[in-house]
């Protein structure tokens, strides 16, 4: 298993690669986490209005 974080403008992308015993990739899991969650709350309020 290999994990890491890529920092982009305003977000972090966290990832995990799962590999088989031969070293080939089997699966990729990722999550995108905003560095400033309040911006998302403002966008949701705008959409709901």
Domain segments of the chain as ranges: 2-48
Find where tokens 């031969």 sit.
22
Confidence band, pLDDT 50/70/90 cuts, at residue 49: low
Give, in order, the Cα–Cα distances in Å from 30 to each of 17, 22, 25, 26, 43: 9, 22, 14, 14, 23
pTM: 0.54
pLDDT tier for residue 36 given thresholds of 50, 70 and 90: confident
37 has a pLDDT exceeding 80: no
Percent residues over pLDDT 70 in the chain: 88
Over the stretch 7-23, which tens digit does the pLDDT of each residue have? 888 888 899 988 888 88
């Amino acid at each position: 298993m290999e994990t890491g974080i890529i920092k982009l403008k305003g977000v972090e992308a966290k990832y995990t690669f799962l590999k088989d015993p031969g070293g080939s990739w089997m699966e990729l899991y990722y999550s995108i986490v905003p560095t400033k969650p309040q911006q998302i709350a403002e966008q949701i309020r705008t959409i709901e209005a």
